[in-house]
Structure 1
Amino acid sequence: MIVVTIPLIALSVVCDLVFCHVLQNYPQRSIYNRITQEDEFRNFDGLIRNNKDARMDLLQKELTLFIPTNAAFENYTKPLYSDMAFYHMAKACKTINELKTIPSLSSTKYNLPKLWITKTTDKLFINNAEVLPFNSNYVGRTRHAPEGHQQILHIIDGVLDPLIRIPESPQTAYDFMTSTWKWDLDVEESVTSFLHKVNENGMAHLFQVNGGNTFFIPVDRSIDTHKFRNLNKKTIFGHIVPNFVLFTRPTMRGFNYETMANDDKTYMVLYLEEIGSELHVKSVTIQGTTDNPTGHYSAKILQANIPVHNGVIHLISQPLGIKNKTRPFPYLPIIEKLSRDPALDTFYSMGDISGFNKIFTSHDVTFTYFIPNDYSWRQMKRSGLKYFENNVDLLKRHLVISDAPYTMERMLAITKSQNNTSFELKTTGGIIKIAVFQIGTSYYVKYKRAYIEVLRPNYECTDGIIHVLAGPMADLF
């Protein structure tokens, strides 16, 4: 008796081929007919009903379709739009076992992000949605065999959201950083400080390169002067996991992934961890240097699973790999600093007499205060210069309340991201337009036609920062 053993992988492929061959020889309902006629697909049918191009793709092209369950649509809380249908249709025809052998698929609309495939021990995911094998692998044809094109339908438990309307070209992680406003995010955050450091260190190509990587990008409001200065090459390397596209559901918790900060001097790894109802990314610098010290670091994931052409992005609450600055005594609240500094007495007295200074009793907010020094007021008086508005309106224009302070470095980065033109800054007196430039070691604030030197930038206080200016942001006459 001869016993023939067949490797499991080979047997799986043979079964797939036999499965497809058998189905091809028996007329089946087309996938288009199933979607438009069966209650199981009523929500997806709603997506394509008014989308002529999507219907034509279903009727004519070879496709792999990933159809969310009705429950998945009901749990999806954002508005639906018909072009989302294209992000559930992939070129080529792939069974579940074939999907397990490839890293990604392209949508029928190529400029949409890739559909990223993750295989775990016993599950298969498309982006962050699980493929439900029981009702998947349905093979149909656009016409009866041998005519027409083959199609395969898989059922998934989540809606695939590209988070961006169909762009003019494939969007990489770098494209995301330069134009976050194009994406339909759940959080209103900007990343200009991190982008500025990426460009400054000549690292843009790392966020543009093809392939599949994971990018952890810190938002602006967490990057103070200390962290901005310490965002060096190695630190930025530590925010990229190469060759792995880590969507949050299929990624194992507590499993270390090597970052690009991996050489003879520096070795950094990342892992995901759930803390209560929040998901955090933890960074460990196992081997470091003076500029990149060893230690454990943590950041909350603010917006997860942003698919791009070259991987996935997670927006995080703060940079990784940078120790928090220890503040030496004494650090004072802004109002105490003003009351004790004779060089800032004019602005303090204006606020004290008008009652404006009471605003600094607010808690759980961060202030950025632009304060002209007393010497500039004396110079204005000698020159006979005046300003139109009353003192309270002038004070309001110089004060910003925000989640994080507007450091000079942050405003310089925003200016550069706007092609060195003015940007809008929301002050307590309304929106103003300013720009910040650096000449040598000095900063200048451009307000309308005036370039005002910053005599002392980023003076840190317990509730924000002060920028001491060589003149007020006002229309003088």
Structure 2
Amino acid sequence: MVAAIIENDRVLPQMMQTMSFTAFMPTNEAMDKYEGEKNVKLIYYHLANIPYTAQHLPDEINTQLSGNPRLYVTRLPSGKASITGWEDFNIFINNAKILQANHIAVAEDGAEQVLHIVDQVIAPTIAKAAPNTPLTAAYRNPDAQKLLKKPNLYGLVNQHSVTDFERRVTELNLLDVFNMQGKNTFFIPVNQALNMMQRL
């Protein structure tokens, strides 16, 4: 399924024959389960232009998708022995776990390429501005604060809306907490969850 998307694009096949890259490719089963749009933009979000083996993946990776939105790498001890250099950790790329790592290839001009197989499609966080409205670069790689301030740009609407939480955070002058530097995890309730709490 991934191969078919690549082959139908004008640029991607040539790029993959001549350039260095890291590819995080979901299994066919993962693609079948994915309910989002399956197009070349999705593939670009699974590609980086630097070849990384699993044991050398940085914490953040710029992708080839327009605006270079990042992928985030998480490592959790697996309890297994490291046979080829990476198995002692379960490695996640955003939500997707690496199942097979370090398939090495060489492009036509000798550029190194690395393929990792992942168990889920990595859905890109893409801001969508209104028609004829320019989108500033600041919103292409959002932190939690930007997600709170402009949730509609990222599809956080209707049952996924977080506007009530953002309103309360703003009232308490705590919005800056959500753009702190470093690695952070934020649990942000949707409006429906807050409304349920208020009824208790």
Q: Does the pair score TM above 0.5?
A: yes
1:137 aligned residue: 102
Q: What's the offset of the Cα at 1:178? A: 2.4
1:219 aligned residue: 190
Q: Does residue 116 of the first structure (1) align with residue 81 of the second (2)?
A: no
Looking at structure 2, the residues matched to 325 and 181 of structure 1 have their Cα atoms a distance apart, in angstroms, of 26
Classify 1:60/1:158 alpha carbon distance in 2 versus 1 (closer, same or farther; 3 Å).
same
1:31 aligned residue: none
Looking at structure 1, the residues matched to 60 and 152 of structure 2 have their Cα atoms a distance apart, in angstroms, of 26
Q: Does residue 86 of the first structure (1) align with residue 57 of the second (2)?
A: no
Q: State the Cα deviation string for residues 331-386 of structure 1 (Å, max 9, x = none).
A: xxxxxxxxxxxxxxxxxxxxxxxxxxxxxxxxxxxxxxxxxxxxxxxxxxxxxxxx
Q: State the Cα deviation string for residues 226-269 of structure 1 (Å, max 9, x = none).
A: xxxxxxxxxxxxxxxxxxxxxxxxxxxxxxxxxxxxxxxxxxxx
Please list every run of 5 or more consecutive structure 2 residues that lacks an aligned counterpart in the other structure. 79-89, 129-134
Q: Does residue 177 of the first structure (1) align with residue 151 of the second (2)?
A: no
Q: What's the offset of the Cα at 1:121? A: 2.0
Which of residues 164, 170, 173 in structure 2 aligns to 1:199? 170
Q: State the Cα deviation string for residues 257-313 of structure 1 (Å, max 9, x = none).
A: xxxxxxxxxxxxxxxxxxxxxxxxxxxxxxxxxxxxxxxxxxxxxxxxxxxxxxxxx
Q: State the Cα deviation string for residues 51-86 of structure 1 (Å, max 9, x = none).
A: 334345423432110111111111223332320111
Q: Residue type matched to 1:54 in 2?
A: L
Q: What's the offset of the Cα at 1:186? A: 9.3
Q: Say which SS state the counterpart of residue 52 (structure 1) adopts.
A: coil
Looking at structure 2, the residues matched to 132 and 223 of structure 1 have their Cα atoms a distance apart, in angstroms, of 37
- Give yes or no for contact 1:115–1:127 (8 Å, CA) kept in 2: yes
1:160 aligned residue: 122
Looking at structure 2, the residues matched to 54 and 185 of structure 1 have their Cα atoms a distance apart, in angstroms, of 30
Q: Does residue 126 of the first structure (1) align with residue 88 of the second (2)?
A: no
Looking at structure 1, the residues matched to 69 and 105 of structure 2 have their Cα atoms a distance apart, in angstroms, of 26
Classify 1:91/1:155 alpha carbon distance in 2 versus 1 (closer, same or farther; 3 Å).
same
Identity level (%): 28
Q: What's the offset of the Cα at 1:140? A: 1.6
Report 1:25-64 matches (<5 A). 43-64=1-22
- Give yes or no for contact 2:59–2:73 (8 Å, CA) kept in 1: yes
Q: What's the offset of the Cα at 1:185? A: 5.9
Which of residues 69, 82, 98 in structure 1 aligns to 2:27? 69
1:230 aligned residue: none
Q: Residue type matched to 2:94 in 1?
A: N
Q: What's the offset of the Cα at 1:109? A: 3.1
How many residue pairs match? The answer is 180
Between 1 and 2, higher relative CO (CA 8 Å, sep ≥ 6) is seen in 2
Looking at structure 2, the residues matched to 174 and 221 of structure 1 have their Cα atoms a distance apart, in angstroms, of 20
Classify 1:176/1:51 alpha carbon distance in 2 versus 1 (closer, same or farther; 3 Å).
farther
- Give yes or no for contact 2:45–2:122 (8 Å, CA) kept in 1: yes
Q: Residue type matched to 2:30 in 1?
A: A
Q: What's the offset of the Cα at 1:198? A: 2.5
- Give yes or no for contact 2:159–2:192 (8 Å, CA) kept in 1: no
Q: What's the offset of the Cα at 1:177? A: 1.7
Q: What's the offset of the Cα at 1:47? A: 2.5
Q: What's the offset of the Cα at 1:112? A: 4.8
- Give yes or no for contact 1:163–1:184 (8 Å, CA) kept in 2: no
Classify 1:84/1:179 alpha carbon distance in 2 versus 1 (closer, same or farther; 3 Å).
same
1:293 aligned residue: none
Q: Say which SS state the counterpart of residue 188 (structure 2) adopts.
A: strand
Runs of 4+ in 1 over 6 A off after TM superposition: none
Structure with more strand by fraction: 1
Q: TM-score, normalised by structure 1?
A: 0.34
1:104 aligned residue: 60
Looking at structure 2, the residues matched to 73 and 104 of structure 1 have their Cα atoms a distance apart, in angstroms, of 24
Classify 1:190/1:52 alpha carbon distance in 2 versus 1 (closer, same or farther; 3 Å).
same
Looking at structure 2, the residues matched to 74 and 325 of structure 1 have their Cα atoms a distance apart, in angstroms, of 40
Q: Residue type matched to 1:108 in 2?
A: Q
Q: Say which SS state the counterpart of residue 218 (structure 1) adopts.
A: coil
Looking at structure 2, the residues matched to 186 and 44 of structure 1 have their Cα atoms a distance apart, in angstroms, of 29
Q: Say which SS state the counterpart of residue 52 (structure 2) adopts.
A: coil
Report 1:273-312 matches (<5 A). none
Q: What's the offset of the Cα at 1:98? A: 1.5
Q: What's the offset of the Cα at 1:171? A: 1.7
Looking at structure 2, the residues matched to 53 and 178 of structure 1 have their Cα atoms a distance apart, in angstroms, of 35
Looking at structure 1, the residues matched to 150 and 142 of structure 2 have their Cα atoms a distance apart, in angstroms, of 10
Classify 1:213/1:56 alpha carbon distance in 2 versus 1 (closer, same or farther; 3 Å).
farther
Looking at structure 2, the residues matched to 202 and 58 of structure 1 have their Cα atoms a distance apart, in angstroms, of 48
Q: What's the offset of the Cα at 1:201? A: 3.1
Looking at structure 2, the residues matched to 184 and 107 of structure 1 have their Cα atoms a distance apart, in angstroms, of 21
